[in-house]
Structure 1
Amino acid sequence: MSPQNHPDAGAAAPRELAARFEQEFGAAPDGVWQAPGRVNLIGEHTDYNEGFVLPFAIDRTARVAVAARPDSAVRLLSTYGDQGLVTTSLESLQPGTAKGWTKYPLGVIWALRERGIDVPGLDLLLDSNVPLGAGLSSSHAIECAVITALNDLTGAGLAAEDMVLATQRAENDFVGAPTGIMDQSASLRGSKGHAVFLDCRDQAARLVPFETEPAGLVLLVIDTKVSHSHADGGYASRRASCELGAEVMGVKALRDLEVVDLEEASGLLDEVTFRRVRHVVTENRRVVQAVELLGGPGPGAIGPLLDASHASMRDDFEISCPELDLAVDTSRANGSIGARMTGGGFGGAAIALTPVQAEQKVRDAVVKAFADAGFAVPDIFTVFPAAGAMRIA
């Protein structure tokens, strides 16, 4: 397993990353910044429909050491991968031209310059232990670490809400992925021991207590090793269906529909569009219910909502895959109180809310089930709600 994909591989300590930066670029960095990946507890494909989501920042981070340059050159290097040093310039940044991981920091630079912020040339060294392609938002972790660094270095004074919109523009217009604002909101606004209840219409956010340990639970992430990409046609087609559904129903966004409106929608929409709409409408309701339960009986009460969410994504939104379904079904059958795929779909990871005493049984059962099915060996690890993006050196 490559180091960047190993969930237990710690990100380089700030001092180590700074030393590596000085070795590679010949001078010390101006600082080191980090931003976490995220797990979406519930609320999938509701963000770009101006709905509700409930993600949390996780204890897996992307870290960047950065130094401003006196010229317009941009030099990028990662501690992993084989791309080597990538050199470009501020003037040459154009949407769709960057390759690999570099499109994320370059997209942030481009988006800030488009906002009129005077971003200097820079040297940047990236390290990350957010598993790639697992639906834990490794790309947004990079973007949020970079924008936090550049906000500090330029003195731009951007609020979290502004940084969210800038990174969304980087994703949408530079990278070419039609994503919403959930991932970067979790990374920039997360807090230890909490999930972020986010209204994607106006960016109103409220921290909701979410701690598994006091409830005798663990949240397992099951990385199926089926890589996914938000920039592919599956994600874009789902978004187009949602926009069509809102247009036919005469609302600004699917957020404006309630469960009681689904009967009318079934008579106006074709079957596929209706099912896409039904997922978003019912998923929004499940997010609100989860927030209510976490504020009352606690995380042990949300299992049925996780189960219902997965069924909706599997059957109505059709973004699951055999590996995700097997991970979810096997977890439930061996003691998890609720499980669902998380992230954009078409691969990536599932989460399983599991009593501590059943953790090993679930782990063993999932590994065996994958082996019996001829699937790749999954990575299984725990995550905890962690702090959001910050300067660390």
Structure 2
Amino acid sequence: MAAELPIPIFTSLDKALPDLQTAAAEGVRYDSMVKEYESRFGHKPTYIARAPGRVNLIGEHIDYVLFGCFPAAIERDILIACGPSQSASGTSTPSSHPPGGVKAENLDPKYKPQHFIPKFNSALGPSAAEEADAASNVHAETSWHLDIDKRELRWESYVKAGYYGVLSRFFSSTTEHPVPVDLLVNGSVPSGSGLSSSAAMVVSSTLAFLAVNNKLDGITKGQLVEMSMENEKRVGVNSGGLDQAASVICTPHSAIFVDFFPRLSAEPIPLPTPRTIPRAVFVCANSLVVSDKVVSAKIHYNLRVVETLVAARVLANRLGLSLGPSDRPRIREIFSRWLGSPELESSPDKVKAGLERFLPEIEKLKPSPEGRPEGQLGITMKEMVEWSGLSEAQFHQVYLSWVDVEAEHFQLYKRTLHVITEAIRVLEFREVCLRAQAAEGELSDDTLRALGALMDASHESCSKLCQSSCPEVDQLAELARASGAYGCRITGAGWGGCTVSLVAEDKVDEFIAKVKEGYAPYKNLEGDKLREVIFATKPSSGAFGKLW
């Protein structure tokens, strides 16, 4: 399985990237970064850790309830050049550098250099930390401290988040110290665009600290995904793993069908190629509405997480499935119990058939219209507690003690309807791609139209049921269809960010020109500035390390 493969470490870019042309172009960028690193720190880096952004082709806001998604890595990425800090004589000298101290700089001048030192919590003590680790079956989080302000997120917070996981996993006692590190960041994934710059940053940071501390042996791609998921939670986002899986596991020329239940798995799915149907590419268009899912988490991203978690409990109660007072299942787990067959034996086709049978059960979450404004399908906090079957104290402990959320009405019905229908669309998208692969040239562009129709339906659901879009993104999606896209949808956490459109390759320039003309924020953009906000992309390779 793709998730069980080791993290690749390359000695030359022509082995890391999909073709010689890409490798040659990127080689210039890597060489420039190494020279800049040496100029700033006085020595060459040991590694360059690379993690791409991703475009989610379909399957939004369903990863954290454990349903499968369909992302692809993009060519834009985050690079982190890293190496042990050295003295003026050119040797690594722990006595002259604090253990584990980090000097972090960014090629973008708007991000100021940072210097931070992790602190080991000696009050807890290594033996107590190890006992807590064993008792909780997780690595003791309290043994290390790095200051991350979740209220005012800074670029280095993502670097610290990646470092935390490495410290917690590999340095839980005082018998071994992390090395002091110099690192330099260079990113081409637009921040806040919905192309997962934050996950790419955390993945590349985690990979960099693993590599520079010689901790990569035995680490699989799946383990790097899981570490990065946990690490991103440290900046305040309860990520479901989609972004990290795409950034780590994807391969060139393919998307992946990534599933999270009963454990992380990833199936590379070749996208339609010139041998099967007229070639099409994906075009990403940035709405220029900045979407920072950390800053607005309590009213957006984290709220959706809580709504789906509570919906799972309420649905279980109404389906007659027993739960303990401290249980916090996800919707996929409730569906699996309702389905009554071991998930390990269920193929994607069986899961899809089960979801179609399960869909009518969602009506059990629809509130009675009596006493409500017309069209109001949300419920109050008081009603939500009552529906859960828990006391107010129990409800708070299970669903609110670990996360901040804010809403007047909680939309359990809408969110669950989105989850189930979106999960079905993902499996249909997978089927269409596999049929195209098997047809070997016998299909027309009806295949592209089928994929486009699923993307359009996904956007409608994200906008109306998940309510994770915004007026500007809706306008871009409508404009994309009018400009010749087979289909278009929001991609990423939402509330701004990017759309992704499926466009015939020979129509890309014409498509971009029409979108530029129709979308007011683009009208005065030309050249590189325009290419920064709207661009075609091919599926890219996942995270890797380049040994220098």
Aligned to 2:169: 115
1:131-210 aligned within 5 A? 131-156=190-215, 157=217, 158-172=219-233, 174-201=234-261, 202-210=263-271
Aligned to 1:130: 189
1:232-251 aligned within 5 A? 232=296, 233=298, 234-250=300-316
Letter in 1 for 2:72: F
Aligned to 1:93: 146
CA distance in 2: counterparts of 1:94 and 1:86, whole angstroms? 12
Deviation at 1:212, TM superposition (A): 5.5
CA distance in 2: counterparts of 1:107 and 1:59, whole angstroms? 24
Aligned to 1:273: 412
Given that residues 47 and 211 in structure 2 are in contact (C-alpha distance below 8 angstroms), is that contact kept between their aligned partners in structure 1? no
Aligned to 1:6: none
Deviation at 1:284, TM superposition (A): 0.7
Deviation at 1:295, TM superposition (A): 0.7
Given that residues 11 and 62 in structure 1 are in contact (C-alpha distance below 8 angstroms), is that contact kept between their aligned partners in structure 2? no
Deviation at 1:155, TM superposition (A): 2.8
Stretches of structure 2 lacking an aligned partner (at least 5 in a row) = 1-24, 86-93, 120-144, 172-176, 322-328, 336-354, 368-376, 378-410, 438-446
Distance of aligned partners of 1:35 and 1:12 in 2 relative to their CA distance in 1, 3 Å threshold: farther
Given that residues 82 and 208 in structure 2 are in contact (C-alpha distance below 8 angstroms), is that contact kept between their aligned partners in structure 1? yes
CA distance in 2: counterparts of 1:229 and 1:337, whole angstroms? 29
Q: Does 1:260 align with 2:348?
A: no
CA distance in 2: counterparts of 1:296 and 1:21, whole angstroms? 48
Aligned to 2:392: none
The structure carrying a bigger strand percent of its residues is: 1
Aligned to 1:46: 62
CA distance in 1: counterparts of 2:274 and 2:104, whole angstroms? 39
User: Percent of pairs identical after alignment?
Assistant: 28
Within the candidate set 455, 458, 464, 1:306 is matched to 455
Aligned to 1:222: 285
Deviation at 1:68, TM superposition (A): 1.8
Deviation at 1:374, TM superposition (A): 9.5
CA distance in 2: counterparts of 1:237 and 1:374, whole angstroms? 35
Q: After the TM superposition, which of the residue ranges 210-219 and 192-201 deviates more from structure 2? A: 210-219
Within the candidate set 378, 381, 390, 2:535 is matched to 381
- Residue 115 of structure 1 aligns to a residue whose secondary structure is helix
Deviation at 1:359, TM superposition (A): 2.4
Deviation at 1:322, TM superposition (A): 1.2
Given that residues 47 and 83 in structure 2 are in contact (C-alpha distance below 8 angstroms), is that contact kept between their aligned partners in structure 1? yes
Distance of aligned partners of 1:325 and 1:213 in 2 relative to their CA distance in 1, 3 Å threshold: farther
Distance of aligned partners of 1:129 and 1:374 in 2 relative to their CA distance in 1, 3 Å threshold: closer
Distance of aligned partners of 1:212 and 1:364 in 2 relative to their CA distance in 1, 3 Å threshold: farther
- Residue 302 of structure 1 aligns to a residue whose secondary structure is helix
CA distance in 1: counterparts of 2:170 and 2:49, whole angstroms? 23
Give the TM-score, by structure 1 length.
Answer: 0.91
CA distance in 1: counterparts of 2:515 and 2:282, whole angstroms? 15
Deviation at 1:101, TM superposition (A): 1.1
- Residue 179 of structure 2 aligns to a residue whose secondary structure is coil
Moved over 4 A (4+): 9-12, 211-214, 372-378
- Residue 519 of structure 2 aligns to a residue whose secondary structure is helix
CA distance in 2: counterparts of 1:375 and 1:328, whole angstroms? 20
CA distance in 1: counterparts of 2:67 and 2:208, whole angstroms? 29
Residue deviations 1:91-127 (CA, integer Å, cap 9, x gap): 1514437841111111111112112345322111000
Q: Does 1:343 align with 2:492?
A: yes
CA distance in 1: counterparts of 2:330 and 2:539, whole angstroms? 30
Deviation at 1:373, TM superposition (A): 11
Given that residues 516 and 523 in structure 2 are in contact (C-alpha distance below 8 angstroms), is that contact kept between their aligned partners in structure 1? no
Given that residues 257 and 269 in structure 2 are in contact (C-alpha distance below 8 angstroms), is that contact kept between their aligned partners in structure 1? yes
Given that residues 11 and 63 in structure 1 are in contact (C-alpha distance below 8 angstroms), is that contact kept between their aligned partners in structure 2? no
Letter in 1 for 2:189: V
Within the candidate set 471, 478, 481, 1:322 is matched to 471
Within the candidate set 19, 30, 38, 1:22 is matched to 38
CA distance in 1: counterparts of 2:429 and 2:502, whole angstroms? 13
Letter in 2 for 1:112: V
Residue deviations 1:224-250 (CA, integer Å, cap 9, x gap): 111101212211111111111111111
- Residue 296 of structure 1 aligns to a residue whose secondary structure is helix
- Residue 499 of structure 2 aligns to a residue whose secondary structure is strand
Q: Does 1:286 align with 2:286?
A: no
Given that residues 312 and 331 in structure 2 are in contact (C-alpha distance below 8 angstroms), is that contact kept between their aligned partners in structure 1? yes
CA distance in 2: counterparts of 1:268 and 1:139, whole angstroms? 34
Higher radius of gyration, 1 or 2: 2
Matched residue count: 384
Letter in 2 for 1:260: R
Distance of aligned partners of 1:293 and 1:170 in 2 relative to their CA distance in 1, 3 Å threshold: same
Letter in 2 for 1:17: M
Q: After the TM superposition, which of the residue ranges 242-251 and 256-265 deviates more from structure 2? A: 256-265
CA distance in 2: counterparts of 1:101 and 1:143, whole angstroms? 10
- Residue 76 of structure 1 aligns to a residue whose secondary structure is strand
RMSD value over aligned CA atoms?
Answer: 2.4
